[in-house]
Structure 1
Amino acid sequence: MKHKLLAYYKHSLEQATPPTPSQLSDYYWFKLDFQDDWIGIQKQEIDVSQLELLKACYDFFQPDETLEKEEYSWNQYLYFNGEQPSFKNIETLRLIQFQIKGDSASIEKKLIESAFDGFIHANSLIIWNGSNEGVVIEQNAQYLEEEDFIALAQALQSDFFFSICFYIGKELKLNSPVPTVFGQERNLFTKGLAFMPKSIVLSLETILPNLLISRLREDELELFKEWFSIFEEDKELLLTIKTFIENNGHSTNTAKQLFIHRNTLQYRLDKFTEKTGFDLKNYHSYITTYLACLFYTSGK
């Protein structure tokens, strides 16, 4: 695709570094992926519809100079591989991406930030990239739990009537290639939103199994259809087994979540093992069964 863009826009530029201020007046700039790959397209070569299409496909470099100095430097560092901001008093950090679903242009960022402030730690930073996405930078192991982000999402939906999804990144040391890791996690977040659009909190652990299923060939997927055909016939059993695994095999929590008696749960677990031959006390069976659950809930 990059070569086609360069060929189509005859006066376009390609470089491995973000544009300098002098390059912004005559060119629109796009970052093609999480690697250092920038393309500048001469403004007089592109019409409005083409510009909007490219904005939807790639990261459009449009510095938001209304941001505070610290926020601006972090925005450029994470999204556009700009200069590293000050890491003073920071030993470790974790990047929590968020994306607001639907039209958020009419909502003031300050109101959303005030809702965030009721949950995140005082030394955490909120960095915006446009009107509907951004990242919370958590510092020095002062990290929220998944339940906290779920509560924050519910509060935002109640107060502002929009839904939001979070991606919980991994803890990073200061010697880590932070922008590169952030770009990889951002790419994974995009895939997770496509796989699980109703999810509130995503992470590497929740997305990777779905990613594996999406990459299996049709003949490999046929194995799931053969071994776990009972899930096609019994949706109640599918929900039970998936919920049981997602509760780490905890019977009481599973029964409570499904509003069933523990004896009923045990009956369904025994039925599953009898029909499929997969014993959920076995580690490998556990993993394989969970992948099968994801396959049957993916709509394929």
Structure 2
Amino acid sequence: MLLDKLKDYFGENFVTNEKHNTNNHHYYWFKTPDNEVIGFPKDKIRHNELDLLNIFLKPIDDKITYSPQTEEEKKWASLLFTDADVELPNQTSFRFIYFLLKEELQERDTFNEAIKSLFPGKTLILWETETTGVFIDFEPKTTDMLDNFFESIVDTVISDFFVEIFLYLGSSNITTDDARTTYQWEKGSFRTIQKQVKKQVYKGEEELPFLLFDEATRDTLLKLRDQTLQRVVDDRDLIQSIKVYLDCNMNVSLAAKKLYLHRNTLQYRVDKFIEKTGIDIRHFRSAVSVYIALLIEKNIH
């Protein structure tokens, strides 16, 4: 893997955009073929090494700016992207929504206007690189009342701008006091989780198990999966039925409707799973263990 080889060669003289940002001009910034942003400190990289990096990686021009326009945007950018002390009115109930575009967008102003027009309340848009940034949603409770709202943003960007976009929804109960640390942690979580599971919209609280997966070895994950699912793993209909059952909060009627099954048929499959595995998924703690095992089965290959 390219990142592993770079780490082996450069060691500590190598950072990722998860913990730093490209507004830090003490680094040479590059983008890998996998669209990951990485940086090398200018005072520790030799000219021949820089020439080599320019061949294999795409340089990010530090002359390109993604400058915020309004005073409020400038304050938020300073708070999130730098170490500067910034005073903002203390407020709660805002949320960071991190975005990643698959390729550079030429019509950034049009994109900003389109996104803001979709949100029901006040929203700021800050760009960190030419393909990444954050929406700040100041009325998340109102936004969450709209069905499939973030999926509609993805569809709009694809249809109007012909580029794929990926979204990560952060916590909706942060304050300005912990905004900077929350921003860095959630941004890093987005990058980590996206390496493991591919989809357009990531809901932060639902994706947390993948952070644990990243810390565990492959052998540990496979053992956990086998310990739980070994006797049923080849019964794909049963596995799918149990996953939907757990997704529906163990509500048999709702899950049966989603699976287009008679309620009694699904109840039979739940009983069959319990009998074969010895794990009673009607109880919360057991259901959590099985749900994590199902996530491993689906996403760890």
Q: Is the 8 A contact 1:91 1:140 kept in 2?
A: no
Shift in alpha-carbon separation, 1:223–1:38, aligned structure 2, 3 A: closer
Q: Distance in 2 between matches of 1:114 and 1:296?
A: 41
Partner of residue 35, structure 2:
none
Q: Distance in 2 between matches of 1:153 and 1:90?
A: 28
Q: Is the 8 A contact 2:232 2:277 kept in 1?
A: no
Q: Distance in 2 between matches of 1:168 and 1:54?
A: 29
3-state secondary structure, aligned to 1:232:
coil
Amino acid across the alignment from 1:235: R
Partner of residue 74, structure 1:
76
Query: Any residues of structure 2 matched to 1:100-179 within 5 Å, and which?
Result: 100=101, 102-106=102-106, 108-139=107-138, 142=141, 144-145=143-144, 147-170=148-171, 171-176=173-178, 178-179=179-180
Partner of residue 234, structure 2:
233
Query: Any residues of structure 2 matched to 1:178-193 within 5 Å, and which?
Result: 178-193=179-194
Post-superposition offset of 1:135: 0.7
Q: Which moved more, 1:151-160 or 1:281-290?
A: 151-160
Post-superposition offset of 1:194: 1.0
Shift in alpha-carbon separation, 1:118–1:247, aligned structure 2, 3 A: farther
- 1:174-214 CA deviation, whole Å, 9 max, x = no partner? 322x22221111110001111111242230x2222123234
Post-superposition offset of 1:55: 7.1
Shift in alpha-carbon separation, 1:125–1:229, aligned structure 2, 3 A: same
Q: Distance in 2 between matches of 1:128 and 1:173?
A: 21
Q: Distance in 2 between matches of 1:153 and 1:223?
A: 34
Amino acid across the alignment from 2:208: L
Q: Distance in 2 between matches of 1:68 and 1:52?
A: 34
Structure 2's unaligned 5+ residue stretches are 1-6, 15-19, 30-38
- 1:131-178 CA deviation, whole Å, 9 max, x = no partner? 3211111226555228321222223233333332221212212322x2
3-state secondary structure, aligned to 1:47:
helix
Post-superposition offset of 1:238: 1.5
Post-superposition offset of 1:285: 0.7
Q: Distance in 1 between matches of 2:46 and 2:212?
A: 43
Post-superposition offset of 1:28: 4.1
Q: Which moved more, 1:63-72 or 1:275-284?
A: 63-72
- 1:70-110 CA deviation, whole Å, 9 max, x = no partner? 334433431333442x524744432111112x22334x123
3-state secondary structure, aligned to 1:201:
strand
Q: Is the 8 A contact 2:95 2:136 kept in 1?
A: yes
Q: Distance in 2 between matches of 1:242 and 1:62?
A: 49
Q: Is the 8 A contact 2:68 2:77 kept in 1?
A: no
Q: Distance in 1 between matches of 2:105 and 2:280?
A: 50
User: How many pairs align?
Assistant: 276
Post-superposition offset of 1:231: 4.0
Shift in alpha-carbon separation, 1:240–1:118, aligned structure 2, 3 A: farther
- 1:256-296 CA deviation, whole Å, 9 max, x = no partner? 33333323222221211111111122111111100110111
TM-score (norm 1): 0.75
Q: Which of 35, 47, 51 is 2:50 aligned to? A: 47
Q: Distance in 2 between matches of 1:278 and 1:38?
A: 50
Post-superposition offset of 1:223: 4.5
Q: Is the 8 A contact 1:61 1:80 kept in 2?
A: no
TM-score (norm 2): 0.75
Q: Is the 8 A contact 1:124 1:139 kept in 2?
A: yes
2:247 matches 1:250:
no
